[in-house]
Structure 1
């Protein structure tokens, strides 16, 4: 698959096209401003009435290997939104409309870099807002996957650590971190060090996933491929899988809004990330 294309169409908007990672569907997008305070929404321009799907926890639905949203009245859905949401989070781009003419966002090169470029081409970067303070520890575990957990702890600034544990015996865990800093340092760190990291994939599962209808639009160049003897293609970073999983985490947690907390995640996927986001809500206080 080609990485896709993007073109600036004027201040406040940009267009792009590509192929969905899982569906393999060609898709076009147009990014533009939303009304102040309206947040992020996806508009399915290919469906009757062009229904809008708000990007919030109330519209999250179960999805395999991606984060999906659904608007219940129209039944409209959009999937694989996490990379776009992570880029919007890191660039403080909040009030956005992403028009899309298919069921899945384009994959770009398998990373969040394509979305960073689209947001910047549209001139839609924002300014950081204070995050909500967390008033208690919030921890999510998974009895079906020993060693998997994600937790949020009260902290003066937002930070996140992701620990990627390969499924193959003898391979070392990989760690990636993000710490919010004022003045743009964390923004540029995300752009240079996290956004280019591609989706991790395992040699042993590629064929079975495609038989299940996943990864139909992907190629080996769009993933950080891992086998029993280590990297199975050229990685962009020595810890690329951990960096990408951290990007996924940032995108998923952005659905809870800006917050001040210390996040630690080990072996988690979208299901765990989103469960933490839901459990955070009762414990988020004032923003200052």
Structure 2
């Protein structure tokens, strides 16, 4: 499965190819240039780099792979956990700013169920992180649930909340088409910092200085803004490296706070266990899960 587009921040063309992998391979991203592999990273939290405006694998611009959250959200929601993903630039193509095209591609390609039983992470006790007015937390829950709330000082967004148990059907219907969004007033400052160079009305919901959505077709959903924030959270939490059973809640969150919450869950003794075919195991990261395959000549 291959998709092509531009990077929303770099503005450069990128082609991404997803290839099936064996059980226990996990999701691995590889970056190529001129036919040479630059870097490779397993999609797990210890390989997450900068989280200012997107989720990045790696720490160095010459090696990292950025804006992985939308494809990771689709893969997590549809239970895909063994893939080799190659990208020929520093950023995954943004497509239409949502996960919809990745879901369509998965539908067209098909998903193979492997005979090996999956392990999953079970939240055992509450864990909470805060950053200013924002916070995120994990709570025990029988199932996988997201409760995401945003609060913007602008009438077109305001305070919005999305809550629901996460299934492939729910993701497809309620979240997959929700697009990234931004404000016209922020465009020039972001360009000056090297962000949003590929952003356009084709891949972003844009809010004007007089507080209205300027996209010709308007919004795709009621409260599309919080739905996209939830989509981002699904992609960011996919960096746990396995499905989780629990409830994730956040208020005024984002990529950085999502990553901080995952790290706190992992670092808090007794906060989670791995439920495997062998039963419940104390959580600890395996070495092969957290070590990136570094630059390759």
Distance 1:119 1:171, change over 3 A: closer
1:101 equivalenced with 2:59 (yes/no): no
Gap runs ≥5 in structure 2: 277-297
How far off is 1:88 after superposition? 0.4
Given candidates 266, 281, 286, the residue that maps to 2:251 is 266
Deviations 1:82-112 (A, max 9, x none): 0011000001010011111000000000101
Given candidates 164, 172, 176, the residue that maps to 1:178 is 164
Distance 1:94 1:214, change over 3 A: same
Provide the aligned length of Structure 1 versus Structure 2. Answer: 266
How far off is 1:287 after superposition? 1.6
Question: Does the Cα contact within 8 Å between 2:157 and 2:223 map onto a contact in 1?
Answer: no
Question: Does the Cα contact within 8 Å between 2:121 and 2:244 map onto a contact in 1?
Answer: yes
Map 1:108-187 → 2, pairs under 5 A? 108-124=95-111, 126=113, 129=118, 131-143=120-132, 146=133, 148-168=134-154, 172-180=158-166, 186-187=167-168
How far off is 1:126 after superposition? 4.9
Instruction: Provide the rounded CA distance (Å) in 2 between the counterparts of 1:17 and 1:170.
Output: 32
Distance 1:141 1:27, change over 3 A: same
Q: Which residue of 1 aligns with 2:289?
A: none
Distance 1:155 1:266, change over 3 A: same
Distance 1:171 1:49, change over 3 A: closer
1:287 equivalenced with 2:275 (yes/no): yes
Q: Which residue of 2 aligns with 1:35?
A: 22
More displaced 10-residue stretch of structure 1: 49-58 or 227-236: 227-236
Q: Which residue of 1 aligns with 2:193?
A: 212
Q: Which residue of 2 aligns with 1:225?
A: 206
How far off is 1:51 after superposition? 3.1
Question: Does the Cα contact within 8 Å between 1:39 and 1:94 map onto a contact in 2?
Answer: yes
Given candidates 31, 44, 48, the residue that maps to 1:56 is 44
More displaced 10-residue stretch of structure 1: 188-197 or 46-55: 46-55
How far off is 1:166 after superposition? 1.4
How far off is 1:205 after superposition? 1.1
1:242 equivalenced with 2:242 (yes/no): no
Deviations 1:29-80 (A, max 9, x none): 11101221110011112263453211111111114200000188x9621000
Q: Which residue of 2 aligns with 1:68?
A: 56
Q: Which residue of 1 aligns with 2:283?
A: none
Q: Which residue of 2 aligns with 1:45?
A: 32
Question: Does the Cα contact within 8 Å between 1:119 and 1:125 map onto a contact in 2?
Answer: no
Gap runs ≥5 in structure 1: 1-13, 181-185
**How large is the Cα RMSD of the aligned pairs?**
2.3
Distance 1:166 1:83, change over 3 A: same
Question: Does the Cα contact within 8 Å between 2:11 and 2:197 map onto a contact in 1?
Answer: yes
Distance 1:61 1:165, change over 3 A: same
How far off is 1:249 after superposition? 0.4
Instruction: Provide the rounded CA distance (Å) in 1 between the counterparts of 2:157 and 2:48.
Output: 34
How far off is 1:192 after superposition? 2.1
